Amino acid sequence: MKRIDLHMHTTHSDGSYAPLDLIRYAKQKKLDCVSVTDHDTMTSVRECREEAGRLGLEFIPGIELSAKFEPGTLHLLGYFLDADHPGLQKKLVKIQKARRERNPQIIDKLQKLGVDLSLEEVIQEAYEDKEIPAGRQLGRPHFARALVKKNIVGSLQEAFHRFLAKGSPAYVDKSRLTGAEVISIIHEAGGVVSLAHPKQMKLEGEALEGEIRKLVDQGLDALEVFHSSHGPEDHAVFLRFAKRFNLVTTGGSDFHGTNKSGLDLGFLGSNIRLSYEVVEDLRKRSQKRSSS
């Protein structure tokens, strides 16, 4: 059975592994098929694809985009989309601008809370540089890392809990896109959309079903039933929804290297492996979308 992981991040967003290192690590972990899903950027695709080709690993271009949502978070994964699609590129520039505007606001909130941290220090910690390299992203895990580095908190988890997580005092919302907009951006670029870690929507029962139904009506193709943060009960709930709404059941570790603790590349949950049929179904659906 092939080993598949469809959710991971490189240094181009907020992972700690550079594209080449991530693909080499995937090979070392004996993975057969991976999708790299950086937040808001596809600048690592070319390098990843080439290295995967050299190592004989199947590579699926991907992305993770966030959308406006309450009470939890709504992240959507795009697969098989064209990284060079001009419409997508234009949208990403806008999304990246919103992210850049958020960064000083997080610093502002932290400083008002009495935390001594500057944006320069966060950028330096993330990129060993004074500026963010073109196309690459600064995310909350970088802020968390800088807070740990300065001994303001003891762990990344504490940084999120005390300051950065949604609902914590230095949280700043960035996304101005709706779920429907994100879905159409990915579809227009030839991709298919999976709802990432649905547990993080923080909804249950009918409320959860209602939101998933809404996304399905907007064109959702798949559900990330298997995610490193999901347990057996979550799998049961999400498998039911996937069946009800005819969604492909994707899975991924959401590996961020040392920028996110407690999970390894290829870990989709205890004893969980993804069937290769999932990849074939995603590919088929993307081809069907592109030809219609």
Binding site for ligand AMP (CB under 6 A): 14, 39, 139-141, 160, 165, 256, 260
Q: How far is the CB of 263 from ligand AMP (least distance, A)?
A: 10
Nearer to Zn ion, 14 or 211 (CB): 14
Closest distance to Fe ion from the beta carbon of 86 (Å) = 25
Residue in the shown chain whose Cβ atom is closest to Zn ion: 14
Structure tokens at 121: 């220090």
Nearest CA to 122 out of 142, 96, 136, 104 is that of 142
Nearest distance from C-beta of residue 236 to ligand AMP, angstroms:
24
Assess 254 for contact with Fe ion (CB under 5 A). Answer: yes
Closest contact distance (angstroms) between CB of 57 and Fe ion is 20
Closer to Zn ion by CB, 254 or 281: give it. 254
Q: Which of 12, 49, 75, 142 binds Fe ion (CB under 5 A)?
A: 75
Contacts of 258 (CB under 8 A, 6+ apart): 16
Which CB, 14 or 281, lies closer to Zn ion? Answer: 14
Residue 165 interacting entry, from ligand AMP, Fe ion, Zn ion, none, C-beta within 5 to 8 Å by type: ligand AMP
Residue 15 or 179: the one with the smaller Cβ distance to Zn ion is 15
How many residues make contact with Fe ion (CB under 5 A)?
A: 4
The stretch among 124-132, 133-141, 168-176, 249-257 that binds Fe ion (CB under 5 A) is 249-257
CB 109 within 8 A of CB 94: no
Sites of contact with Zn ion (CB under 5 A)? 14
Q: Please identify the residue of the shown chain whose CB is closest to the bound ligand AMP.
A: 139
Q: DSSP letter string over the chain?
A: ---EE--B--TTTT-SS-HHHHHHHHHHTT-SEEEE--BS--TTHHHHHHHHHHHT-EEEEEEEEEE--SSS-EEEEEES--TT-HHHHHHHHHHHHHHHHHHHHHHHHHHHTT----HHHHHHHHHSSSSPPTT----HHHHHHHHHHTTSSSSHHHHIIIIISTTSTT--------HHHHHHHHHHTT-EEEE--GGGG---HHHHHHHHHHHHHTT--EEEEEETT--HHHHHHHHHHHHHTT-EEEEE--B-GGGS-S--TT--STT----HHHHHHHHHHHHHHHH-
User: Quick one: what does residue 160 bind among Zn ion, Fe ion, ligand AMP, none, with the CB cut-off 5 to 8 Å set by partner type?
Assistant: ligand AMP
> Can you read off the two tokens belonging to residue 18?
């550079």
The minimum distance between CB 56 and Fe ion, in angstroms, equals 25
* Site mask for Fe ion (CB under 5 A), range 195-214, x = bound: -x------------------
Residue nearest to Fe ion (CB): 75
Which of 36/117 has CB closer to Fe ion?
A: 36
Cβ contacts of residue 292 below 8 Å, gap of 6+? none
- Of ligand AMP, Zn ion, Fe ion, none, which one does residue 140 interact with (CB within 5 to 8 Å by kind)? ligand AMP
Site residues (vs Fe ion, CB under 5 A): 64, 75, 196, 254
